[in-house]
Amino acid sequence: MAIKTKYFSVVILLAMFSFTMSAQQGEVNVDQDSDIDKLLEYKKDIKTTKVYRIQVYQSVDPDKAQREKSNFSNAYGEWPAEVVWNTPNYKVWVGNFATRLEADRALVKIKKKYMNAIIFQPKLDKK
């Protein structure tokens, strides 16, 4: 009796396996307007204006800011750093991150040395 039950279980499992294998095959056809392709090409040509940066330091003394920029560049050479004068302080800004996620990943690394570092979006000059 036990052998018949095992044999029956194996047959049922094989049948279920073959059924699931054939159930996962299919074909998908997408019918879309030709203007969608034009829009996708147009979107590729548009430059993103949204940029994220990280501020790691600020001071009223430009020499201290420049020194901190050099320290940052030595510790983290993978991101560009610059000293920006933003009334009344000199600030050390890092990177040009295209997405917030990219900036967040960099911030995790930077916070190990610069605990007060913050992510922000600079206001873009309208020309």
- CATH 3.40.50.2000 fits domain 52-120: no
List pLDDT tens digits, range 62-75.
999 999 999 999 99
pTM: 0.60
Reported as type and span, the H/E element at residue 64 is helix 62-75
Q: Which residue has the tokens 């920029």?
A: 69
Residue of 60, 53, 59, 63 whose CA lies nearest to 93: 53
List pLDDT tens digits, range 93-120.
999 999 999 999 999 999 999 999 999 9
Confidence of residue 127 (pLDDT cuts 50, 70, 90): very low
List pLDDT tens digits, range 29-63.
888 888 888 887 777 766 656 899 999 999 999 99
Highest mean pLDDT among 3-12, 27-36, 89-98: 89-98
